[in-house]
């Protein structure tokens, strides 16, 4: 009787990176290259691939590994160039041991529709997730709370590293940038919230990427008292910051005034559902009216012959408000996803402001939410189903820069079986340009 193939931890360890400790804080990506020996089923005719894939999935003989398609080009490059493909099999299936083959494989071979051959699957640094990489570059004593979760504002990831991880902070930042295409800058908070500022603003250090928080206009739909809006304003980011709670709004105004960021940060006290459209209209109106920030550049010093030096104050620089919002941040995890259907018609009648008419992309929406704490795709699919139901457009886990796909990352655990996530997606055209209700 044939042995049914199942995935054991030992077999799937082949898909984990080898230990690759960073030397002197330098990440050597070449150390992550590895070859996983597998078996592959060569299909006699491509039209049979779908049937055999389905049957092998039922018998659990097909490869099931994160971020790897079970359908691969034929290992012979000349045949691959002709479109020939194969199905990668579970590591428990051995090409030279028919006793490890199930009924589907055996019958396919008997019919000459399949051939089971050895297959070398080559993996490299690009394949492994941030958590995979951090788990092998950080020492074992730091594996309990690997800092793979973070908040996002635009292209900026905000970390709050514990002291034990500070010696590896730049390495952590570098890996986060590598593994999150929409992240360009990683910053770490360097003081305790509330200790230096009663309004929960914070100083930061750049761990990776440019010291550039300029994301044009950010709309912070649930801004609270400004923990992200105020620091962003200090870096020259226009922020339309809103909070429905009158008390939070009052402190938000005070934080803006005390930190002298009023030229960039504008406070609002509205229901977030109506604020989404109002913000888009308000930003566009401000741009059309020529609204701008005035920035005084540094004093220049010039020699004036034998008399020595003289100071010259250049005219202030005008920073115009752009016509569109680049990012919507919705940091209210208990209910933020229920707001997303209010994006419908956000830019109705303004198609000319965006690609392909200009280089401007539709806004990225960052939705914080709660879901199951799990390392498989269950919480990701759950989040996408919720977004799909609210947007009316099919959304699936993937790359936020691709239409219909959502980048989802772990922010932090909030209970033994509950985790906070941040789901980011580019607003679909059919939503942004729909007629307003």
Quote the pTM value.
Answer: 0.60
Q: List the binding residues for S-adenosyl-L-methionine.
A: 243-244, 271-272, 331
Q: How many whole angstroms separate alpha carbon 276 and alpha carbon 252? A: 18
Q: Is the model's pLDDT at 348 over the cut of 60? A: yes
Give the highest mean pLDDT range of 150-159, 261-270, 287-296, 370-379. Answer: 261-270
Q: What is the pLDDT of residue 253?
A: 97
Q: How many whole angstroms separate alpha carbon 238 and alpha carbon 106? A: 64
**Secondary structure (3-state) at 194:** coil
Q: What is the pLDDT of residues 99-143, one digit of tens each?
A: 999 999 999 999 999 999 999 999 988 888 888 888 888 888 888
Q: How many whole angstroms separate alpha carbon 129 and alpha carbon 147? A: 13
Q: Is the model's pLDDT at 303 over the cut of 70? A: no
Q: What is the pLDDT of residue 144?
A: 81
Q: Which of 277, 267, 264, 241 is nearest to 363 (CA)?
A: 277
Strands across the sheet with 156-159, in order?
151-153, 156-159, 185-189, 204-208
Least confident of 306-310, 406-410, 431-435: 306-310
Contact (CB, 8 A) for 250 and 333? no
Contact (CB, 8 A) for 402 and 421? no
Residues 371, 223, 284, 392: what is their CA dihedral angle, to the nearest 10 degrees? 20
DSSP for residue 86: E
Q: List the binding residues.
A: 243-244, 271-272, 331
Q: Which of 198, 178, 318, 306 is nearest to 251 (CA)?
A: 198
Q: What is the pLDDT of residues 161-183, one digit of tens each?
A: 888 899 989 999 999 888 887 78
Contact (CB, 8 A) for 159 and 129? no
Question: Rounded to 5 degrees, what are φ and ψ at 328?
Answer: -110, 125
In angstroms and rounded to an integer, the radius of gyration of the C-alpha atoms of the chain is 27
Q: What is the pLDDT of residues 393-419, one digit of tens each?
A: 999 999 999 999 999 988 888 999 999
- Residue 68: which pLDDT band, with cuts at 50, 70 and 90? confident
- Residue 204: which pLDDT band, with cuts at 50, 70 and 90? confident
- Residue 198: which pLDDT band, with cuts at 50, 70 and 90? very low
Q: What is the pLDDT of residues 327-336, one digit of tens each?
A: 999 999 999 9
Strand partners, 328: 219, 365
Question: Rounded to 5 degrees, what are φ and ψ at 34?
Answer: -155, 160
Mean pLDDT over residues 220-249, rounded? 92
DSSP for residue 17: P
Q: What is the pLDDT of residue 288?
A: 94
Q: Is the model's pLDDT at 219 over the cut of 80? A: yes
What's the whole-number average pLDDT of the chain?
A: 85
Q: How many whole angstroms separate alpha carbon 157 and alpha carbon 201? A: 16
Domains and CATH numbers, the chain: 9-123 (3.30.70), 131-432 (3.40.50.150)
Q: What is the pLDDT of residue 3?
A: 38
Q: What is the pLDDT of residue 65?
A: 84
Tell me the C-alpha to C-alpha distance, in Å, between residue 75 and each of 41, 91, 167, 413. 11, 17, 43, 42
Q: What is the pLDDT of residue 158?
A: 80
Tokens of residue 74, six digits: 């034929």
Tell me the C-alpha to C-alpha distance, in Å, between residue 9 and each of 15, 32, 61. 10, 20, 16
Q: How many whole angstroms separate alpha carbon 111 and alpha carbon 109? A: 5
Q: Which of 144, 225, 159, 64 is nearest to 409 (CA)?
A: 159
Over 212-269, what HEC string results?
A: CCCCCEEEECCCCCCCCHHHHHHCCCEEEEECCCHHHHHHHHHHHHHCCCCCCEEEEC
Contact (CB, 8 A) for 85 and 117? no
C-alpha triplet 100, 101, 104: angle, nearest 5°: 160
Contact (CB, 8 A) for 419 and 337? no
Residue scoring higher pLDDT (319 or 71): 71
- Tell me the residue length of the chain: 437
State CA 118 to chain mean position distance.
36
Q: What is the pLDDT of residues 244-253, one digit of tens each?
A: 999 999 999 9
Mean pLDDT over residues 148-168, rounded? 79
Least confident of 136-145, 150-159, 183-192: 150-159
* Mode of pairing for the β-strands spanning 327-330 and 217-220: parallel
């Amino acid at each position: 009787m044939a042995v049914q193939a199942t995935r054991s931890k030992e077999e799937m360890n082949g898909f984990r990176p080898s230990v690759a400790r960073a030397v002197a804080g330098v990440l050597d990506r070449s150390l992550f290259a590895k070859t996983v020996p597998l078996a592959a089923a060569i299909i006699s005719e491509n039209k049979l691939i779908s049937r055999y894939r389905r049957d092998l999935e039922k018998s659990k003989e097909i490869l099931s590994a994160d971020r790897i398609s079970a359908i691969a080009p034929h290992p012979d490059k000349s045949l691959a160039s002709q479109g020939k493909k194969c199905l990668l099999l579970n590591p428990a299936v051995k090409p030279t041991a028919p006793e490890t083959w199930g009924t589907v494989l055996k019958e396919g071979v008997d019919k000459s529709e399949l051939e089971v051959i050895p297959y070398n699957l080559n993996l490299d640094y690009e394949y492994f997730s941030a958590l995979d990489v951090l788990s092998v570059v950080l020492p074992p004593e730091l594996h309990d709370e690997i800092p793979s979760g973070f908040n996002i504002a635009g292209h900026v990831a905000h970390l709050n590293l514990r002291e034990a991880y500070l010696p590896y902070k730049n390495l952590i930042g570098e890996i986060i940038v590598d593994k999150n295409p929409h992240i360009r800058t990683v910053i770490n908070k360097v003081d305790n919230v509330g200790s230096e500022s009663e309004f929960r603003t914070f100083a930061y250090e750049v761990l990776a990427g440019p010291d550039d928080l300029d994301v044009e206009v950010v709309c912070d739909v649930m801004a609270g008292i400004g923990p992200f809006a105020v620091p962003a304003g200090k870096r020259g980011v226009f922020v339309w910051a809103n909070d429905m709670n009158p008390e939070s709004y009052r402190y938000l105004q005070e934080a803006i005034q005390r930190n002298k960021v009023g030229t960039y940060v504008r406070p609002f006290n509205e229901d977030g559902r109506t604020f989404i459209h109002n913000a888009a209209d308000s930003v566009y109106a401000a741009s059309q009216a020529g609204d701008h920030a005035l920035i005084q550049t540094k004093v220049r010093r010039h020699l004036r012959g034998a008399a020595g030096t003289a100071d010259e104050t250049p005219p202030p620089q005008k920073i115009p408000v752009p016509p569109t919002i680049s990012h919507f941040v919705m940091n209210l995890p208990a209910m933020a996803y229920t707001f997303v259907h209010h994006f419908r018609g956000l830019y109705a009648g303004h198609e000319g402001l965006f690609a392909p008419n200009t280089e401007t992309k539709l806004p990225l929406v960052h939705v914080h939410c709660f879901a199951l704490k799990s390392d498989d795709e269950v919480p990701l699919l759950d989040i996408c189903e919720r977004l799909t139901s609210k947007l009316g457009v099919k959304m699936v886990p993937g790359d936020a820069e691709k239409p219909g796909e959502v980048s989802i990352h772990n922010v932090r655990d909030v209970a033994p079986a509950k985790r906070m996530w941040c789901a980011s997606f580019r607003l679909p055209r059919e939503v942004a340009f729909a007629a307003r209700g």
